[in-house]
Homo-oligomer: A and B are copies of this chain.
Amino acid sequence: MKKVVILGAGNVATHLIRAFQASPETKVVQLYNHDATRLKDFEKEVATTTNLSKLAEADFYLLALKDDAIKEVVKKMPLTGGIVMHTSGGKSIKVLSKFEHYGVFYPLQTFSRSREVNFREIPLCLEANSPTTLLRMEALARCISENIYEIDSEQRKALHVAAVFANNFTNHLYGMASDICARNGVEFEILRPLIKETAAKVEVLSPAEAQTGPALRGDKQTIKTHLKLLKRSEKKIYKRLTSSIRKFHGKKL
């Protein structure tokens, strides 16, 4: 049985706890959080502590913390023979270098407390300070996911930016679309099948192959009509993305 201590009680920590508790090969032996109120929801499932000097013995210590909190928690954590890992896409592996065995255990997914996710489909991006540590981390990762990748700190940084485009910015475009609908008395739900298919298409086609629309076609008349309907801030984004699509596909507007 692989023993895991989780540090943090946010969305990532919540989903990791569920995934490890669901696996027959892993057990979350303790949950740490600096704020006791956040621990209340978990007390029935797992032992909890707010004291870093009272961390339980474990094979793995998983810091599922906000980027800003990692440094402080690492500083206060006692040394351990277990493998200490963080889950951050943006932080280097080096922030953990005071430990003997350490690594990064980055699940590339967007987590909401209220939404169940199938953890087995989530890509886990691993980096370790040694080949032995990597092997042990891979064994842990395989208990909860089928998509395991070895990704170094530089690659992970790039992946983190790419994820901002594919998730945060994409969701914001949905938000703008929703706003345009609301202003014109149209239900946003009409767009939902389109959003679903847009995402499904890139499961089988490359985004370049899947591109369509007035920007790609160079349909100036439609673009002009569209701009008239937009607010100033939306216009700027519409123009910027339209010209970016043209350039991306080697065309001139």
Contacts and interface: CB of A to CB of B under 8 A. Distances in A.
Interface of A: 67, 90, 108-110, 112, 114-115, 117, 121-123, 125, 147, 149, 151, 154-155, 157-181, 183-188, 190-208, 210-216, 219, 221-222, 225-226, 229-230, 233, 236-238, 240-241, 244-245, 247-248
A34 B43 CA distance: 71
Contacts of A149: 187, 190
Contacts of A216: 168
Contact of A207 (B90, B174, B186, B201): B174
Contact of A159 (B122, B165, B174, B186): B186
How many copies of this chain sit in the oligomeric assembly? Answer: 2
A121 B186 CA distance: 18
A198 B198 CA distance: 11
Contact of A245 (B168, B187, B229, B236): B168
B151 A226 contact: no
Contacts of A158: 180-181, 183-184, 186, 229
Contact of A194 (B108, B161, B177, B194): B108
A162 B175 contact: no
Contact of A168 (B155, B193, B215): B215
Nearest to A167: B198
Nearest to A176: B165
B162 A198 contact: no
A149 B181 CA distance: 14
Contacts of A174: 165-166, 170, 202, 207, 210
B162 A248 contact: no
